[in-house]
Chains A and B, each alone.
Chain A
Amino acid sequence: MRHLDIVDLRADYGSHTVLERINLEVGKGEIVSLIGPSGSGKSTLLRVILGLLPPIAGEVRIGGQTIDYRNKRDVKAIRSRVAVVFQQYNLFQNMDVLRNVTIAPVKVKGRPRAEVEEEAKLLLTRVGLGDKLKSYPDQLSGGQQQRVAIARALALKPEILLLDEVTSALDPELVNEVLDTIRDLATEGMTMLIVSHEMAFVREVSSKVVFMAAGHVVETGPPKQIFDNPQMARTQDFVGKILRH
């Protein structure tokens, strides 16, 4: 069953087209990874899905329902169903860990604080931060902050999780603690769209890999195809370069 559907999507920054004719399907419980060189539009695509950058043309459908990004209610609706974890974590600097995780469910969704806090504590324990509830973001390492960001996204009980280069800002030894958390989610059947440069990880967890370059989707296929037997010259070039290391 299709969960997230992107059809002929186009987005511009001012007069500059950054995404063109993007077509992408994410099935329920699937993990789709976006790979490609910097500036190819991977992160921009996630921003468009969330309505941070409204598309110029094309469609985004979630569960078969088309999102009208000019309509505030539609944008609100997609943001309540799709959660995102940013590369730079984007934790609220003025709030402790627990409040970062609970503020949206409590204040925006209006759920009872006690209940949300219990859930948040479980989530934070699950990502290994049960003892950091009262810490502020600047007191945590990058890996810890990123796991708080994941907990914050999960506290909204999203149907779909978008991960935007969640390990790029981390020291190498902190990468695995974040990847382990994502592996856990994968085994639970969470639908995910991932932007990543961790090729071994992408290969391991993805149901499908999408190679993007210069604002276009160049090739889509199972990890085996993209990494071992890429069909397009541009993909061969990219994969050849990164796998040589």
Chain B
Amino acid sequence: MLERIIEEAPAFFGYYNVVFLLEALLATFLLSVIGCLVGFLAGFAMAAVRRSGGRALAPARWLILAYVEVFRRIPFLVTLLLCFFLFEVLKLGLTTFQVAVVAVCLIASAYIAEIVRGGLDSVHHNQWDAAATLNFTYWETLRWVVVPQAWRVILPPVFSFFVLFIKDTALASQIGVVELTYAGKVLNNKGFSAALVFGSILILYFALSWPLARAGSWMEKKLAPSRHR
């Protein structure tokens, strides 16, 4: 097998294949980064609204509850296909990549909203009482008291979700987005050996998620002064 890989390597790493792989890598990278960023911001916002008590936000709380519970229960692929066919019907003229971006954002937001909710709930209720009697508003309490204490509970599952999530973007290949997994299949079909093709794909996925995991543990140390608890 090794001989075959050595024999194929020069052709495999030819200019067009490398550009093709890098473009696919960029697609996977963008899907992951946009999904993680939007998911984190939207998930955080939704968890914060869900925890609020005001009557004005009650309809928003119901919507968020329904959204989170539904999207966490549908397989990623189904969400993707739903988005794909919905946008077909609506004739918005989106590319498959844009459809995939919408789908990954929907999924990541729902999951992270649930992780953040758990983190906020983990902060002891007496912290809310103390903040209330000091006349902090709900949002001030979140910002100054609850979120700083919830980080250490929120961050580890968020980052392990991100790592899983990068791999799940492979499903976008099912609607024809040229990302890493799709590129692997194309090159394999061109006749390159599976070991060479998917070995390269593996390395590229690893190159995406390893720095993310490192960033995660760095942030956990930086943002979560966990010894003060």
Binding site for B on A (CB under 8 A): 50-52, 76, 79-80, 83-84, 86, 88, 90-94, 103-104, 107-108, 136-139, 152, 156
Contact = CB atoms under 8 A, between A and B. Distances in A.
Interface residues of B, number: 19
A91 B140 CA distance: 16
B126 interface: yes
Contacts of B132: 50-52, 79
A93 B229 contact: yes
Interface string B141-185: 000110011000000000000000000000000000000000000
Interface string B117-148: 00000000011011111111000100011001
Nearest to A76: B135
A86 B129 CA distance: 9
A86 B130 CA distance: 8
A94 B225 contact: yes
Nearest to A155: B134
Given A79-B133, A92-B144, A152-B134, 6 more contacts: A51-B132, A79-B134, A86-B126, A92-B127, A136-B228, A138-B227
Interface of B: 126-127, 129-136, 140, 144-145, 148-149, 225, 227-229
B145 A80 contact: no
Given A79-B135, A80-B135, A138-B229, A94 B148 contact: yes
Contact of B134 (A52, A94, A104, A139): A104
Given A107-B140, A107-B144, A138-B228, A90 B127 contact: yes
Contacts of B133: 50, 52, 79, 83-84
A1 B149 CA distance: 43
A211 to B, nearest CB: 26
B140 A93 contact: no
Contacts of A94: 145, 148-149, 225, 228
Nearest to B228: A136
B202 to A, nearest CB: 41
Highest count of chain B CB atoms <10 Å: which of A86, A104, A136, A139: A104
A139 B227 CA distance: 10
Contacts of B130: 86, 90-92
A108 B127 CA distance: 16
Contact of B135 (A92, A104, A139, A152): A104
Contacts of A76: 135
B56 to A, nearest CB: 12
Contacts of B134: 79, 103-104, 108, 152, 156
A136 B130 CA distance: 16
A208 B119 CA distance: 44
Contacts of A52: 129, 132-133
A198 to B, nearest CB: 22
A219 to B, nearest CB: 29
In the A-B complex, list the 6 residue pairs whose CB atoms are closest, starting with the nearest.
A90-B130, A104-B134, A136-B228, A94-B148, A90-B126, A79-B135
